[in-house]
Amino acid sequence: MAKYGMTILTLGWAAEYADHGVAANCLWPETYIATDAVKNILGGDAAVERSRSPEIVADAAVTILERPASECTGNTFLDVEVLRDAGVTDLSPCDGTGELQYDIFVDPPR
């Protein structure tokens, strides 16, 4: 539920600040991200092995921040979609060593 609430807040901020040249967007990971929270709460080293590295989210954030605020606000993005739209075709350097675990809010590809 937290992601839905944060997304709704972001959409409100995007509308409120659009006339001031300030963008507000959401960026969510497609899969688990190898963080201490994932390790300590979601399954230890096994969960980290099924996670992508934090760099994937950082790269996606930079890609979004490079866009003009007037043209990119009020969006909800997945990290992999941002990078693929930017022409990144190989995400394997960010992959863990196991089968990736999709975030609980994301449907795996069919």
- CATH no. of 2-94: 3.40.50.720
Is pLDDT above 80 for 2? Answer: no
What pLDDT does 55 receive? 96
User: How do residues 16-49 score in pLDDT, each as one tens digit?
Assistant: 999 999 999 999 999 999 999 999 998 899 999 9
- 3 state SS of 5: helix
Is pLDDT above 60 for 90? Answer: yes
User: How do residues 41-79 score in pLDDT, each as one tens digit?
Assistant: 988 999 999 999 999 999 999 999 999 999 999 999 999
Phi, psi of 26 (to 5 degrees): -105, 145
Instruction: Give yes or no for a contact between 52 and 33, defined as CB atoms under 8 angstroms apart.
Output: yes
Q: From CA 94, how far away is CA 110, in angstroms rounded?
A: 21
- 3 state SS of 28: strand
